[in-house]
Structure 1
């Protein structure tokens, strides 16, 4: 019953909310599901996340930032994602390799070939079955964030986040069979229903779903 689902999008677009709603809906339908996130998801990943998001060192160099994200990813894939998939479970992950391509590659200006190569090593080549991109104008997402509680990356300027936004749309356009772009300006319930319809169609195409 394994399926690997990731959520992507800019800051304030509702990824974590929708990942939680999908996780609960899958559990209610009788599936074994694991919810996780990047960076984080393991004790080491949580510590790396603290450094990346809340460190006083605003000037972490882009290459070091890339390596830290992928150290967290390597631990997550090895200890959580691959074992869960091997056990036939569904993984719902808030951010994955695509975040690194757009944030550290396009946002920070690192070579995309370098970013992809390091991503591939850390992820062991494991890619999602479905990536859900929540999309809206960057300004709306930024308006949702409270800057007094914003982390180091959230505090980047509008130009940075526009590069990230455009990069996500470009990735989705390159691989439409893996991506579903969802208008994040809709109501929370409507977004959740659109996501559920897509996930359920994938599950129904592969397996006989329990307790539908």
Structure 2
């Protein structure tokens, strides 16, 4: 009987260890994914900055050529229409290409931001749930769900019932188990009040 119980406890411990290891591995993978997403987002932002810089340079080239063309016309020089047209076509194509890239980078940036935001919300929700679970465990010794499930097992039910029965008394001055928080009684004397003040100060 003891050997069976020992084997069962070992099996339960092994299952618990495997679950904890799986949780740790999953958290590591999630952390690595977040780091990768942050790196990709930083790279995309850098590319967007470069794209805007090149678009600015192209715009400055257009302005510079226009200024030079106006100066040449003021001098009475004859400008080549074909050269001007070729320049404008080239600049227009480059602007279109860089604008398309900037649009694609903007979409990718928004997707990455949304992914990171969703991940952060899930992580906060998980942390909040873990906090509530910890409080529940501190207050009740086990989760309420686990307690409900344990009632399906007759041995667990008897164990829980026996633990509660310890508080039952047949004396006339016995009271029921309180529901909710227990408010401490007021100090019975000024001396006792002084001691309480010292402890809380």
More helix by share: 2
Q: Which has the higher strand share?
A: 1
Q: Which has the higher contact order (CA 8 A, sep 6+)?
A: 1
TM-score above 0.5, yes or no: no
**TM-score, length-scaled by structure 1:** 0.20
TM-score (normalizing by structure 2): 0.21
